[in-house]
Structure 1
Amino acid sequence: MPHIRPISDLRNNFADISRMVHETSEPVYLTKNGYGDMVVMSMETYERYKFENEVYFKLKEAAYEAKTTDVRYSHEEVFDDLRAKLNQKVEIDDV
């Protein structure tokens, strides 16, 4: 069940809202004059949403590419390419 609070609670009960978003890892929806206005969430929750959104779009992009091309890669090719990229990154970071 979503947490919905009036926007005045952000000013009057900030500590309570902060505790709520950290304990539940869920956003709090703030209303202004009875209408949705803002969403408040912890940094951890925000980063998780960003990561999940990025993964979703990458998977959607991969599904589209799979539908529109006949090119397929074996798992050996994929992992070899990934290892090479990781090694290259490690070499750059070591410099």
Structure 2
Amino acid sequence: MIIKPSAAIRKNYNEISELCKKSGQPVYLTKNGEGDLVVMDIEAFARRESMLRLRENLVAAEESRLSGKSGYSIDEVSSMMKAAIKEVLDGQRG
């Protein structure tokens, strides 16, 4: 975890930006010693958002299955998985 004071973003924007890009990790900014903001590289953010959408879809599918709703065929699942993988890979490419 990378933690910096909020003043660092004003004084060292380029340094913070480069740190986010090189590390691929979010940088946590504090204000008066308390957590205030999180800054991250746009590519890392896009990957994270893609993974969250995928997880939401998987949870929704599992909830549907558990509630007794009819499932999907193997071909339908294969198509959905290919689309999800493509979305993740496209998010990584930016």
User: Could you say whether these structures have the same fold, taking a TM-score greater than 0.5 normalized by the shorter chain as the test?
Assistant: yes
Q: Which ranges in structure 2 are unaligned for 5 or more consecutive residues?
A: 80-94
Q: Which ranges in structure 1 are unaligned for 5 or more consecutive residues?
A: 83-95
Count of matched residue pairs:
79
Q: Please list, as runs of the form range in 1=range in 2, the aligned pairs for 1:1-95 lying within 5 A after superposition.
A: 2-76=1-75, 78=76, 82=79
Please identify the structure whose Cα radius of gyration is greater: 1
Identity of aligned residues (%): 32
Distance 2:39 2:77 in 1: 40
1:17 match: secondary structure:
helix
TM-score, normalised with respect to structure 1: 0.76
2:50 match: secondary structure:
helix
TM-score, normalised with respect to structure 2: 0.77
Distance 1:39 1:79 in 2: 36
1:72 match: secondary structure:
coil
Q: Tell me which of the two structures has the higher relative contact order, counting C-alpha pairs closer than 8 angstroms and 6 or more residues apart.
A: 2
